[in-house]
Structure 1
Amino acid sequence: MIKKGMRRQIVLHYILVVFVALLLVEVIFLLAIRTYYYDSVYNKITTQIGISENFYKFTFSNEGSPVHFQKLLEYFDMDNTELEILTLNGDILTGSTPFQPDRTITTSDVSEAVGGSIGRWVGRQAGTNESVMAVSKMLHINGRDSFIVRYLTSMERINSDLLNLTLVSIGIGAAVMAIVMLFSFGLANSIVKPLNNITAVSAQMAKGRFTTRIKGDYKYEIGDLATTLNYMADEIIRSNQIKDDFISSISHELRTPLTSIKGWSETLISGGYDPEETKLGMGIISKESDRLIGLVEEILDFSKLQQNEMKLSIALIDIKVVLQETILNVWAKAEKKRIHLLLECEGTIYIKGDANRLKQVFLNLVDNAVKFSPEDSSIVLSTHRLSKEEMAVIVRDSGIGISEAHLSRVRDRFFQVDALNGGTGLGLAISQQIVELHHGKLELDSELGKGTQVTVILPLTEEQPPVAAEGGNGPELL
């Protein structure tokens, strides 16, 4: 007995479908054969009756007599068939059998013959319980006297042949079902064995053994499932590695400012320093505190984005103003490396968005450009109208660039091209998600050793800012 499971279900369903189909075919076949045999007997008898009728009409034209009936019996008797002459009431006048029972024939073939058609009846012969077929037809004499010619033949031999044919068909059907069962086991195993293998490997993965892989050249949907699970394991390993690298990196990032803050705090507490040294120490503490706050805020922003909890304060903004503020914020850092920040704008461009969040995006992009650009180079921020519906902000530098291997992963969370430069590896991932919240796109184009170009595509709006009242002193956008 097959234990419960998918193998059992496949085998049972496959056998059931084939069994029903085979049963229908055999039933239809046997019914067709039976009909053919029975109709053959019936057609042969009706042909004989037709010949008998014509012979009688042309040979004996006066009246029916026992002599005439006897000649009819002699001429048109059939092998293994009994010929009877009946009255319209079903009484037997004479027959080919020497001993005729003294009874009235009441089977349906007689009543059909009296009605004017050729009657046919299949059933059991009274007394012998033998399976027989009776065919009857009424004959007229001079349009007045009438009698019934009735042929009665045994169907036992035909039924025996049909029974043998049925047994042969059942045997063939059983052989076919046995072959089908063997094939169904093979079919079930071809499906269940790979699934059992995949299930076993999945159980190992669930226990944290992500180096385990599904082996085997599986096809179609099972092959897709195996490939997907292997890919999932690879991605989990990669994500775990990135997470470990992030934890290591963020630990270093947090330890450095904390060490500076703790060191200068202890130094200042000890006292005995002049105002200039005290001012220097407090400045370092303030700078490192700001750095810590920036790291924590970046992690919090990423957490909000992952949980879809970041809310945007949408308003009509001039993108040029946002870029000007961005340049002002990174100007001091760029000056230390003698990097020139250039802004190229095609006039005023209005979009609907969150000014602070978009400023966060551009600050991250320009800060990265400054970080990875050589001294005495330039970083260009430019805006372009792509169509009536879209505009683009391009940040282009001539820095170290990004290799093709890293370019596809640089927007992944926690990924850092150069871990020695610090950072959490979240900046670009956060920037992309903020841009997507504005229904835009962030595209990267870089070549190692030649620089990087980042394009932020945002939807335009037809809405314009309200015109200030004449003589008013409203603020101006620079």
Structure 2
Amino acid sequence: MRKNTGGLRPSGAPATGWSMKDSILSRLLYTYLILFISVILILSFVFTRFIDIGYYNMKRNQLLQEGKRISSLVERYGFEDLAGNQMKDALNLIGYVTNSSVYVLKIQNLEDVGPQMSGEYSMAIAEDIKRVAAGDEVARRISIENIDTDVFFAGLPIYLNGNVEGAVLLFSPLNELGQTMDRMYMAAWGIGLAFIMIASMVIYAVSRRVTEPIIRMANAAREIADGKFAGDINIQSNDEIALLADSFNYMKNQLKKIEKMRQELISNISHELRTPLTTIRGFIQGIMDGMINPEEERQYLEVALEEVNRMTKLVGDLMDLSKLQTGSIKLYKSEFDVDSLVNEVVKGFDIECRERGIYVAAEVGEGLKVTADRDRIKQVLVNLVGNAVKFTPDGGNIVISAQQVDNRTVFKISDTGQGISEEDIPYIFDRFYRADRTKPGHGLGLAIAKELVEIHGGTISAESKEGYGTTIIFDLPS
């Protein structure tokens, strides 16, 4: 007993080459997870970048604003008051609020800048101090060797009597930003992992819902291959999977119908061939054994010939239908008179119609011509008129009309027969289909007519009501 170790592999499916990792479910699951994780990473990067830029701009504006306040104080009270308690308290308060180190330098010349500051700061901002001494405001992020975090630096000039006499320098470490970002990263990854777990379950359920109908259809396809036609597959949704299931059900029902017709065809052909072959064999055996008088031999041979002709027509119809469906029939188109063709077809049924009292009327537009394969269109008309004669009761009427409508030539064959039920009309042009099985025939005539009309670029349809007769309509390009 073989076990299904693949989890989702349909029963009866070949084990070779199939694995869980190759299934649609796995591909959908992995694809959605990768996409979801990528989105989380991108959003995390964008969000942290946004926070970083926002914090940077906030710190820049804060230090520049406080630097301007210090510069205003020095410009108002002069450098002599820097040693006073009030000035020291103000500078310490600003440094505490902004989490920064504050330097107020008196610049008499550029060479005096370095000794007034600690070495690591003066080396990192030497060029910036030159710009401040020239009257520019400077604010940027700097890295200092002996400090394990980046520092935000702001420098502003101090004006006395219209000249740059000093500078306010503020240094604020950005370790707060790093700590904040670390906490945000931890929170983001925690939330992300929780979402990934929830998303995995949701994605699995959704993917399973997508693949489960496909597995059911695969199992049903194998049953069809084994000749078993189960019930329809019902999908409760309005998406593409439901459309696929509807198409699959339609295909299955069509195959079921074709299989039924094929079996009926084999049965009918077997019967149709067995009966004349038995008759012919009996006649030949009787003649050979001397059981039939020589005077009656011709009569029996004529009956045998009629049976041979009927079998020949059956085989010919099957061959024509096969050629039409494979596209191997070549058309020999020419312009011909429609009226003469219709009269020719009507004459072929003249004797039978006279014997049964069926009145046949031909109504063809004057001078109507069409370009087509005359022999094939005659074959269409013979099949359609033959059907009309077959199903029209004695004393009934048949009307054959042909008219020009726009750029099409429209043919109509109407009879006063028993009509066709509404349920049968969609199938009467199918191969081997016979709405009335009490009448002789093989169900090939209308199928051949349909194929011949369509390869000419035309269409064919039927209108019928039970008890009121049938009208077959087909058109051809003019």
What is the TM-score normalised by the length of structure 1? 0.84
Deviations 1:276-296 (A, max 9, x none): 412211221222222222222
SS class of match (1:321):
helix
Residue identity matched to 2:379: Q
Q: Does the 8 Å CA contact 1:73/1:83 hold for their aligned counterparts?
A: no
Q: Does the 8 Å CA contact 1:113/1:119 hold for their aligned counterparts?
A: yes
For 1:306-321, list aligned pairs within 5 A: 306-321=325-340
C-alpha displacement at 1:158, in angstroms?
Answer: 4.5
- Among residues 377, 387, 399, which one is paired with 2:417 in the alignment? 399
Quick one: distance in 1 between partners of 2:58 and 2:456?
Answer: 85
Q: Does the 8 Å CA contact 1:89/1:104 hold for their aligned counterparts?
A: no
Q: Provide the aligned C-alpha RMSD in A.
A: 2.9
Quick one: distance in 2 between partners of 1:104 and 1:51?
Answer: 22
Unpaired stretches in structure 2, ≥5 consecutive residues: 1-18
Q: Does 1:28 align with 2:46?
A: yes
SS class of match (1:413):
coil
Quick one: distance in 1 between partners of 2:288 and 2:338?
Answer: 47
Q: Does 1:16 align with 2:38?
A: no
Quick one: distance in 2 between partners of 1:124 and 1:254?
Answer: 102
Q: Does 1:91 align with 2:134?
A: no
Question: Structure 1 pair 146/246, CA: closer, same or farther in 2 (3 Å)?
Answer: same
Question: Structure 1 pair 253/334, CA: closer, same or farther in 2 (3 Å)?
Answer: farther
Quick one: distance in 1 between partners of 2:358 and 2:58?
Answer: 108
Quick one: distance in 2 between partners of 1:171 and 1:159?
Answer: 18
- Among residues 183, 200, 215, which one is paired with 1:196 in the alignment? 215
Quick one: distance in 2 between partners of 1:245 and 1:184?
Answer: 49
Quick one: distance in 2 between partners of 1:288 and 1:4?
Answer: 61
Provide the residue aligned with 1:70 in structure 2: 83
Question: Structure 1 pair 410/162, CA: closer, same or farther in 2 (3 Å)?
Answer: closer
Question: Structure 1 pair 90/3, CA: closer, same or farther in 2 (3 Å)?
Answer: farther
Provide the residue aligned with 1:375 in structure 2: 394
Question: Structure 1 pair 297/70, CA: closer, same or farther in 2 (3 Å)?
Answer: same
SS class of match (2:435):
coil
What is the TM-score normalised by the length of structure 2? 0.84
Q: Does 1:292 align with 2:314?
A: no
Unpaired stretches in structure 1, ≥5 consecutive residues: 95-99, 461-478
- Among residues 222, 235, 254, which one is paired with 1:235 in the alignment? 254
Quick one: distance in 2 between partners of 1:381 and 1:295?
Answer: 26
Quick one: distance in 1 between partners of 2:433 and 2:244?
Answer: 28
Quick one: distance in 2 between partners of 1:275 and 1:145?
Answer: 146
Residue identity matched to 1:403: S
Quick one: distance in 2 between partners of 1:113 and 1:184?
Answer: 59
Quick one: distance in 1 between partners of 2:410 and 2:164?
Answer: 112
Question: Structure 1 pair 16/424, CA: closer, same or farther in 2 (3 Å)?
Answer: same
Provide the residue aligned with 1:459 in structure 2: 477
Quick one: distance in 2 between partners of 1:107 and 1:90?
Answer: 16
Quick one: distance in 1 between partners of 2:170 and 2:311?
Answer: 115
Question: Structure 1 pair 106/120, CA: closer, same or farther in 2 (3 Å)?
Answer: farther
Quick one: distance in 2 between partners of 1:448 and 1:455?
Answer: 17
- Among residues 107, 112, 133, which one is paired with 2:124 in the alignment? 107
- Among residues 256, 259, 282, which one is paired with 2:278 in the alignment? 259
Quick one: distance in 1 between partners of 2:181 and 2:265?
Answer: 83
C-alpha displacement at 1:261, in angstroms?
Answer: 1.8
Provide the residue aligned with 2:72 in structure 1: 54
Provide the residue aligned with 1:365 in structure 2: 384
Residue identity matched to 1:70: A
C-alpha displacement at 1:444, in angstroms?
Answer: 1.9
Provide the residue aligned with 1:163 in structure 2: 182
Question: Structure 1 pair 394/111, CA: closer, same or farther in 2 (3 Å)?
Answer: same
Deviations 1:428-452 (A, max 9, x none): 1111221223333333222222322
Provide the residue aligned with 2:404 in structure 1: 386
- Among residues 220, 227, 231, which one is paired with 1:208 in the alignment? 227
Question: Structure 1 pair 241/104, CA: closer, same or farther in 2 (3 Å)?
Answer: closer
Residue identity matched to 1:265: I
For 1:273-352, list aligned pairs within 5 A: 276-352=295-371
C-alpha displacement at 1:425, in angstroms?
Answer: 0.7
